[in-house]
Amino acid sequence: MFTLLRRDRSKKLRVLLTRTLQDFAIKELQKHYKIEIHSGPFPMPKRKLLLKIKEQDGLICFPYDNVDKEVIQAGTKLKTISAFSVGYDQIDSKYAKKRKIKIGYTPNVLTVATADLTITLILDLLRRVTEGDRLIREGKWKEVFGADTYVGEEIDGKILGILGFGRIGKAVAKKAQTFGIKVFYHNRNRLPSRQEKALRVRFVTLNELFSKSDIVSIHVPYSVETHELVNKSLIKRMKKRSYLVNTARGKIINERDLIFALKRKTIAGAALDVFYHEPIGKNHQLAKMQNVVLSPHLGSSSIVTRAKMAKITVENLKLGLAGKKPIYSV
């Protein structure tokens, strides 16, 4: 009897990864758990996920995975889901919590990297850098431009409207101000006036944010409330020479309405790191527009940030499987 108990206690818990992590993270997981890493098509096909999840104690998932009620129901032994992502909309968190399954994710570490990318996209968009790069690569640069050909916008003195003033929104504001940009913001909860003064920002209504800003940058989390929040009713309020930037989530924008505005040039352009359905291909309507800068969901793609995300993902899993609350918990 005693021998059996010892054997059960020494038996490693099983953990499934829908995609691999950095070597240091894999080595740490292997110390504690029997791990299995999906190496096929990404995201992991649901049929395979349903089959594999049955014997797992823990799951490490990524954006684009679909950890819905059916998957969670199939995971009869599942105790913890650790998401390698700033959000957790790929998980049916309501049902998981009902099942007493702990959920961890990695929100705080993306702030600097995402803010950096946002500023990069703004500069690229207004100064038409990607357009110029494309011009050269396609062999179309034949002469030095004249006085008013291929001109862009200076950002000094522009008004940046930030939709969503959490960690990333504040970081974008701080970086933007170093370029002489004025910052307006709209948030569900307004900051105290003393804090607004210290941060040198001005609160405006949602409609005012879109009508008064030269650049609107989106930083709200994706939820039922923010689904297609940015649609034709807001886009039509924008100035004709204004720009829309999104490094948050693709489904916050009604993509059809944005494409309509870009085609008719009722706004000057857009820079997008996220899309309604990802990935997009070269035949997507947005990919064919000259007044659009595209990046393939690079918000967290810095070496430092991705390493921090992996470390927290592993720690969240370990805490959850030990019956404790993850560092960042739903």
Q: Which are the contacts of 242, defined by CB distance < 8 A and separation ≥ 6?
A: 213, 214, 215, 216, 267, 268
Give bridge partners of residue 59 from the DSSP assignment. 16, 81
Distance CA 292, CA 271 (A): 6
Distance, in Å, from the CA atom of 233 to the CA atom of 229, rounded to the nearest integer, reads 9
**Catalytic option among 188, 200, 277, 278:** 278
Cβ pair 327, 102 in contact under 8 A:
no
> What is the maximal distance between C-alpha atoms in the chain?
89
Catalytic (active site) residue 297? yes
Q: Is 278 a catalytic residue?
A: yes
Q: Which helix (H) or strand (E) holds 304?
A: helix 303-321
Active site residue: 186, 297, 306, 315, which one? 297
Judge whether 219 counts as a catalytic residue: no
Mind spelling out the 3-state secondary structure of 63-78?
A: CCCCECHHHHHHCCCC
Evaluate whether 152 touches 293 at the Cβ level (below 8 Å). Answer: no
**Residue 54 DSSP symbol:** G
How far is CA 23 from each of CA 20, 311, 316, 327, rounded to the nearest angstrom? 9, 11, 17, 22
Q: Indicate which residue of 249, 255, 306, 315 is catalytic.
A: 249
Number of H helices, E strands in the chain: 13, 12
β partners of residue 243: 215, 269
Nearest by Cα to 72 from 49, 90, 105, 96: 96
Contact 204, 185 (CB under 8 A): yes
Catalytic site positions? 249, 278, 297
